[in-house]
Amino acid sequence: MGELVLYEKPALRNPYLVMGFGGWPDAGKVSTGAVEYLKNKLKAKKFAEIRPDSFYDFSTVRPLTMIKDGLERELRFVSNEFFFWENKKSAHDLMIFVGTEPHLRWDEYANLLVGLAKQFKVEKVCMLGGDYAAVPHTKESVSGLVSHPELKEELRKYDVELSEYQGPASIHTLLLKSYKEANIKVFSLWGNAPHYVRGWNSMVSYALLKRITRMLQVEIDLGDLRKEGERLVAQINELIGQEPKLKGYVKRLEEDYEFRRKSEDKDQLIREIEEFLKRQQN
């Protein structure tokens, strides 16, 4: 049996692909939380998976077992699974991938993902990630990068900041390059989670899904996820209200956030003026 197991080959129409990875690019469980929610909400059907043996160090990501009444009931390894959903209100069906960033053989892993995308003629890929940042829990902060320059305007359209980053890379970076080489358009969206909030950050997952469902023409009611995020914000506000130092810290983060947004608005205006002048000269 090969590393990629295809259980069926659904007849998908011009599909889009949404991807989420556990591990390093999943701060606050933002990525896997969003994609798992999307998969469950749409009742997407599993059709393929990547076997984990060649890509993970099982002493780092150990298999999970369930033992009851002295008997082993289940042994579960790290998973990388593909699902599909037929979008009857769009010309584009949806593929959903939920996996874990591999420890080993990144190139081979990427080749499997890109090969499947080419097999199903995927038109657009949207990878979701999460990182911890000095942002307030009261504001939405989503950043992103793209495979082609002309896609940057689409990010701005949906209130996604263009990423500025230098440091350790995730599997997103390699896949963006690999999909681009396969002539597939890619968006990599990152939910910036407040570094002082741990556990699943439902409000940041909601911020990501609110954008990508519009980008990919997926009509879905995110109301329950939005309410879950609002409950989380209310809980954090209650805790912070009891700690003056924390309250002052969050206030400074909010001021920094607003200052940065105003600066970005000015930069965007300058870019638009420059582009307008260039068009006039041509």
Pairing, β 71-76 against β 185-194: unpaired
Q: Are 55 and 112 in contact (CB under 8 A)?
A: no
Q: Is 81 among the domain residues?
A: yes
Whichever domain contains 121, its CATH number is 3.40.50.10900
Q: Is 260 among the domain residues?
A: no
Q: What does the block give as tokens for 38?
A: 């999307």
DSSP summary character for residue 19: E
Q: State which residues form the domain around 238.
A: 4-242
Prediction pTM value: 0.87
Q: Is 170 among the domain residues?
A: yes
β-bridge partners, 95: 17, 84
- Other C-beta atoms closer than 10 Å to the C-beta of 169 total 13
| pLDDT by position in tens, the chain (length 282) | 489 999 999 999 999 999 999 999 999 999 999 999 999 999 999 999 999 999 999 888 888 888 887 877 777 888 999 999 999 999 999 999 999 999 999 999 999 999 999 999 999 999 999 999 888 888 889 999 999 999 999 999 999 999 988 888 999 999 999 999 999 999 999 999 988 888 889 999 999 999 999 999 999 999 999 999 999 999 988 888 887 777 788 888 888 877 776 666 545 544 554 564 566 666
Q: Is 258 among the domain residues?
A: no
Q: What does the block give as tokens for 251?
A: 């206030």
3-class DSSP state of 82: strand
Q: Is 35 among the domain residues?
A: yes
| Widest distance between CA atoms in the chain | 79
Handedness of CA 196, 198, 202, 205 (dihedral sign): positive
Q: Is 99 among the domain residues?
A: yes
Q: Is 210 among the domain residues?
A: yes
Q: What does the block give as tokens for 264?
A: 């970005």
Q: Is 259 among the domain residues?
A: no
Domain count along the chain: 1
β-bridge partners, 45: 84
